[in-house]
Amino acid sequence: MSFLKYGKTEVEDTFAEAFDIWVSRILITAKNEKWALEAANSAIGFATSIIFCPAEAGIEKTVSARETPDNRPGVIIQISHPSKKKLEEQVLERVTQCILTCPTTAVFNALQGGELVFDTGRKTKFFGDGFESKGELAGRTIWYIPVMEGDFAIEENFGAKKGVGGGNMLIFGKTPEAVLEAAEAAIKAIHKVDGVITPFPGGICRSGSKVGSLKYSKFLKASTNHPFCPTLRGKTPDFKLPDDVQSVYEIVMDGVSIESVKSATAAGIKAAASVTGIKRITAANYGGTLGPHKVYLKEVLNV
């Protein structure tokens, strides 16, 4: 095990292991940012980890009215899944149940040049029960579906492309308070990188997992990453935390490309390392059992 130094923080010379996903990038607009965020938060629900969730999803960023087809404030979300078919199902279900139903919203494709095309809008139009109409807005084909408020506007087609899921970093600190502060700083920095989401609650995961299980391997495909659990100090021979580390948080990143995940990893490490009380930053990898992509911490930090 070897380490680099970033400021006063040790950065382990290792890599995060990530896997292939299909990603759809969706723009939600509304009367104001409040309602765009309401729809976005509803649409990304129960989508932290593909281990047991039907998809992984998150908010990428907010956008101003100047950047949207209907000149209203918006929010860009990502929905991802390893299966193309299941991703298409998730996009349709989340758009129809969580965005269509939300006051004042409209929804547009935010992934130009995708490798796949989902006709989500054409399928959603049937909710209009024959009263739907087709039009054009800012060069996009739009379906207008009557709802009790007025019309719900949805673009006819949504793009999807191959992306990367499971990029990660682990933050070790002297106290839970310091590690949470560092993780929050990392999330703030990561969200400035286009094309990346952090799907866990607030972007932070306290239940870092390992592939498989030591004791329940017959039915469990992931379990607690026990070498990094502070309460197991002295109880397991493969315990990995230094004596002065009392808390660990993981940040998981999904992105539209390996390049975006690498950029986000660098931003997150630099922000977390600047917080007093952070001892070490590392990443989780599983000997190739999780996926083919490797994000080397030394490489992304250019040291």
In this structure, are residues 107 and 95 in contact, taking their beta carbons and an 8 Å threshold? yes
What digits encode the pLDDT tens for the residues 215-225?
999 999 999 99
272 and 242 in one domain?
yes
8 and 33 in one domain?
no
- Tell me the average pLDDT of the chain: 96
Share of the chain above pLDDT 90, in %: 93
217 and 144 in one domain?
no
Measured distance CA(80)–CA(25) in Å, rounded: 9
- Please give the average per-residue pLDDT across 110-130, as a whole number: 96
What digits encode the pLDDT tens for the residues 135-151?
999 999 999 999 999 99
243: Cβ–Cβ under 8 A, 6 or more apart, which residues?
Answer: none
CB atoms within 10 A of CB 146: 15
The pLDDT value recorded for residue 286 is: 80
For residue 137, count CB atoms less than 10 angstroms from its CB and return exposed for 0-12, middle for 13-18, buried for 19 or more. middle
Of 20-29, 39-48, 99-108, 280-289, the least confident: 280-289
Instruction: Give 287's pLDDT tier (boundaries 50, 70, 90).
Output: confident
7 and 89 in one domain?
no
272: left (phi over 0), alpha (psi -120 to 50) or beta: alpha
187 and 268 in one domain?
yes
Domain final position from 140, 161, 182: 161
Residue 200 has pLDDT above 70, yes or no: yes
- Please give the average per-residue pLDDT across 107-123, as a whole number: 95
CATH of the domain at 269: 3.30.70.520
Residue 113 has pLDDT above 90, yes or no: no
Pick the closest to residue 283 from 6, 18, 14 (CA basis): 14
268 and 187 in one domain?
yes
126 and 45 in one domain?
yes
What is the 3-state secondary structure of the chain? CCEEEECCEEEECCEEEEEEEEEEEEEEECCCHHHHHHHHHHHCCCCCCCCCCCCEEEEEEEECHHHCCCCCCEEEEEEEECCHHHHHHHHHHHHHHHHCCCCCCEEEECCCCCCEEECHHHHHHHHHCCCCEEEEECCEEEEEEEECCEEEEEECCEEEEEEEEEEEEEEEECCHHHHHHHHHHHHHHHCCCCCEECCCHHHCECCCEEECCCCCCCCCCEEECHHHCHHHCCCCCCCCCCCCCCEEEEEEEEECCHHHHHHHHHHHHHHHHCCCCEEEEECCCCCCCCCCEEEEHHHHHCC
Share of the chain above pLDDT 70, in %: 100
In this structure, are residues 47 and 57 in contact, taking their beta carbons and an 8 Å threshold? yes
Both structure tokens of 118? 């989902």
Domain final position from 129, 161, 193: 161
Q: Is the pTM of this model over 0.75?
A: yes
* Domain tally, the chain: 2
Measured distance CA(58)–CA(45) in Å, rounded: 8
What digits encode the pLDDT tens for the residues 148-199?
999 999 999 999 999 999 999 999 999 999 999 999 999 999 999 999 999 9
61 and 132 in one domain?
yes
280 and 220 in one domain?
yes
The pLDDT value recorded for residue 69 is: 98
Residue 1 has pLDDT above 80, yes or no: no
Measured distance CA(286)–CA(19) in Å, rounded: 11
In this structure, are residues 277 and 180 in contact, taking their beta carbons and an 8 Å threshold? no
Both structure tokens of 256? 């539209």
140 and 50 in one domain?
yes
Both structure tokens of 266? 């660098």
Measured distance CA(252)–CA(49) in Å, rounded: 9
The pLDDT value recorded for residue 303 is: 64
116 and 96 in one domain?
yes
Residue 269 has pLDDT above 80, yes or no: yes
The more confident residue out of 141 and 288 is 141
Print the domain residue range for 105: 23-161
Measured distance CA(182)–CA(188) in Å, rounded: 10
10 and 103 in one domain?
no
Residue 288 has pLDDT above 80, yes or no: no
